[in-house]
Structure 1
Amino acid sequence: MDMISYTFLDEELERLSTMLENFVRNVGVELCVLCDEGGRLITYAPKLENLKPIAHRSAVISAAVNGAIEYLENFVDSGRSLYVSGKTKSVYMLKSEHSFILFVSFLNKTPLGSVKLFSERLMREIHPILESARNRQITNRTIRFEDIAI
């Protein structure tokens, strides 16, 4: 079981979605996912229905990778990001101070420097919303993994 200790208001979720949509459009990435460290999808862009299952899987995988990275950080320097390059696509993950994860998938023709720069900028811009959600903690809800598994 996992404890959720944040609450987003509807208008905050809409604002986050808009910010991710702008990021995807302006930087030219394929998919941007915002999730928590438990693998729960908060929002994603672009908001295409056929991308929703991929966004959910990306959230779960991001949380798992984040857990592995946190374990490995006991042996190496601490970091907040991860970059993985494939033959045609790459992935960049960035973790916020509030344990939220930004997952970005992009074609290799998109410059990595742009993805990093604008991902970090996006994380700074959404920071106040994430902080508000963490501080709100109206009620703690328990979520079982079985309830979110796809």
Structure 2
Amino acid sequence: MELDIVQYDLDEATKNRLENVIKNFVSKSGSMLAVLCDDAGRVLSYDSRVPLEEYKSEFITSIVSGIFGASLEMSKLLELEELDLIQFEGKTLNVIIKHIKPRFLLGVLVKKTTSIGTVRLFLKEASVELEEILKEMKSIPQKTIKIDVETLEEKLREIIGGIE
């Protein structure tokens, strides 16, 4: 088993392009928050209409990637076509997760009073722009950790066992 720690080769111009697309999307769609991450939950960019500390964006992207990953595996088991978008409706918020090829996700939080049709229209536009930017980007493996399953389980037991 290999665990990879990846960093993306983002020059300043690419970072600015990503940020502009996200900010433009939030502004046009009326979303509360849009966060761009990879499928492992690593934050690339975000914009929010509400104050948001960086650690919260990382928490949100962890949830976004987990939900999308679980849904993707369920869709495979059910032999459904490729999963592209997931939408959840809550009492006060809607959550939309859009797959951005090749391996990225755009998580969006929207108030119930905001038109979902409008959000999805601008989401489609933003996803095309993001895909164009991201297909040029390269990932740089920072570190690869090779570990066997037994050692990994032992380390996890040590960590979990210490929380009693």
State the TM-score, normalizing by the size of structure 1: 0.84
**Alignment pair present for 1:109 and 2:110:** no
Q: Work out the CA distance in 2 between the residues paired with 1:45 and 1:80.
A: 22
Asked if 2 retains the 8 angstrom alpha-carbon contact of 1:2 and 1:38, the reply is no
Q: Where does residue 140 of structure 1 map in the other structure? A: 141
Contact 1:33 1:55 in 2 (8 A): yes
- Work out the CA distance in 1 between the residues paired with 2:25 and 2:48: 10
Question: Quick one: which of 67, 70, 73 aligns to 1:68?
Answer: 70
Per the TM alignment, residue 14 of structure 1 is displaced from its structure 2 partner at its CA by 1.4
Residue 115 of structure 1 aligns to a residue in which SS? helix
Identity of aligned residues (%): 24
Paired residues for 1:1-150 under 5 Å: 1-4=3-6, 6-46=8-48, 50-76=52-78, 77=80, 78-133=82-137, 136-137=138-139, 139-142=140-143
Residues 49 and 13 of structure 1: is their aligned pair in 2 closer, same or farther, counting only changes over 3 Å? farther
CA distance in 1, matches of 2:86, 2:73: 14
Whole-Å Cα distance in 1 between the matches of residues 102 and 62 of structure 2?
17
Structure 2 residue runs of 5 or longer lacking an equivalent are 146-164
Counterpart CA distance in 1 for 2:29 and 2:100 is 20
SS in 2 for 1:140: strand
Q: For 1:50, what is the secondary structure of its paired residue?
A: coil
Q: Which residue is equivalent to 1:147?
A: none
Q: Does the residue aligned with 1:39 lie in a helix, a strand or coil?
A: coil
Instruction: Let me know the Cα RMSD of the aligned residues.
Output: 2.1
Cα distance in 2 between the residues matched to 1:55 and 1:38: 13
Cα distance in structure 2, aligned partners of 1:110 and 1:98: 29
Change (3 A) 1:48 1:10: farther
Count of residues in correspondence between the two structures = 141
Asked if 1 retains the 8 angstrom alpha-carbon contact of 2:33 and 2:49, the reply is no
Shift of 1:127: 1.3
Q: Gapped runs of 5+ residues in structure 1?
A: 145-150
Cα 1:47–1:56 shift into 2, 3 Å: farther
Deviation at 1:54, TM superposition (A): 2.5
In 1, Cα distance between the equivalents of 2:68 and 2:95? 13
